[in-house]
Amino acid sequence: LQEMDLSVGTYIIDNPKKMEEWLECIRASLPGGGKNFRVVTSMRLIGIFMVLFQSKASVVKVSKINSAYIATGISMFINKLGNK
The pLDDT tens digits along the chain (84 residues) read 555 566 655 554 566 777 888 889 999 999 988 899 999 998 877 667 888 999 999 999 988 888 877 766 655 555 555 555
For the sheet with 37-45, list strands across it.
Answer: 2-3, 48-55, 37-45
How far apart are alpha carbons 64 and 16 in whole angstroms?
A: 24
Q: What does pTM read for this prediction?
A: 0.63
Residue 58 confidence (pLDDT): 93
